Amino acid sequence: MLYVLEDTINGILMGSIYGLTAMGLTIIFGVLKVINFAHGSLLMVGMYVSYWAIRLTGVHPYVALILVIPIMFIFGYSLQKIIIRPIFIAEKNVREPVTVIIVTTGIWYILDNLTLLLFGPQYRSLGNNPLQGKMLELGEMFISMPKLYGFVTALVTAAAVHWFMHKTVMGRAIRATSMDREAASLMGIDQYKIYNVAFGIGAATTGIAAVTLIPFYNVFPTVGVLFDIKGFIIVVLGGLGSITGALVGGVIIGLIESVGPQFMTATWTEAIVYGLFLVVLFVKPSGLFGQKHDW
């Protein structure tokens, strides 16, 4: 029984980190109405940036956030501004341009393979760091410290994004654009600039997720693909565009992955996740917290 409880707690912790990795995806979808297929690659870039930042300076992993957040924001902002924006302008009248999906897929392939060229295929782990292998003892249960840090970070990030979206002028403009592009434009909001900012914020939260992962996760050029597919499942499960949904969706996946192996072979849990995803798509495509008109 205690094992199940321990697995449940660890599942919730890991799941909230999954939710954090998917948060950027859902923010970007909420505003641009486009699935960013390069999302996993953004996470991968974030992980390499934090890996090198921590490796070269030797600071506590979470101090790297000071560097990773702005770098990832600028990276996402420029990516949207230089590569994706021209397509939005060319396909002004299309609500959900499929072409953008294709272009982000191209970005995914370029980023992943460029990283492969630069850093090689080997797995890198941070190794010696203050969080490595730390466990929190709760009675007879062991809770992973880096995952606990990740859990707290996920909640804080979600709260911060929520605050930003509701209390700042830029946040309100972003929400207005996500609700109705035309009306927002008529109110004097530059929708393309909003897209840039939203993409930047999405990339920055992905950078935060990368920092929470790096103390206990290996980094390699295709690491993003694992989180890419998982991210798609999480955001559809929680409802595309919903930040709460991303966290809840992440926790559901985390629980299946950690509690599932008690009852079956671990590799089967992956099949269950895909099955659940298809069921949600067929039965309730708007997800748990999504708005109905968004699908």
Partner 1 sequence: MNSQHINKIALLGVLALAFALPLVVRSATYLHILVLLFFYAYLTTSWNIVGGFAGVLPLGHAAFVGIGAYTSTVLSLQYGISPWIGMVVGGVLAMIAGIIIGLPTLKMRGAYFALATIAFAEGLRVMVENIDYLGPLKINGPRGLQIPPLETGFSHFMFATKEPYYYIILIMLLLVMLLTYMVSRSKLGYYLVAGGEEPEAAMALGVNVARARLIAMAVSSFLTALAGTFYAQFSLYIHPKSIISLDMSFEIAFIALIGGRGSIVGPILGALLLRPVSDFCRIYFGDSLPGLHLIIFGLVLILVMLYQPRGLQEPISRLYQRIINRPQPATSGS
The nearer residue to partner 1, 13 or 240, going by C-beta atoms, is 240
Sequence letter at residue 248: V
Buried b (16+ CB within 10 A) or exposed e, 198-221: bbbbbbbbbbbbbbbbbbbbebbb
The nearer residue to partner 1, 70 or 86, going by C-beta atoms, is 86
Provide the 3-class DSSP secondary structure of residue 13: helix
Phi, psi of 143 (to 5 degrees): -115, 130
Q: How far is the CB of 85 from partner 1 (least distance, A)?
A: 11
Q: How far is the CB of 106 from partner 1 (least distance, A)?
A: 4
* Distance of alpha carbon 226 from alpha carbon 273, whole angstroms: 13
Q: How far is the CB of 35 from partner 1 (least distance, A)?
A: 4
The nearer residue to partner 1, 64 or 111, going by C-beta atoms, is 111
Q: How far is the CB of 281 from partner 1 (least distance, A)?
A: 5
The nearer residue to partner 1, 113 or 168, going by C-beta atoms, is 113
Q: How far is the CB of 118 from partner 1 (least distance, A)?
A: 11
Within 8 A by CB and 6+ apart from 227, the residues are: 18, 21, 22, 39, 40, 43
Provide the 3-class DSSP secondary structure of residue 98: helix
Report the interface residues with partner 1, using CB under 8 A: 29, 34-35, 83, 86-87, 90, 96, 98-99, 101-103, 105-110, 112-114, 116-117, 121, 221, 225, 229, 232-233, 236, 240, 265, 267-268, 270-271, 274-275, 277-278, 281-282, 285, 295
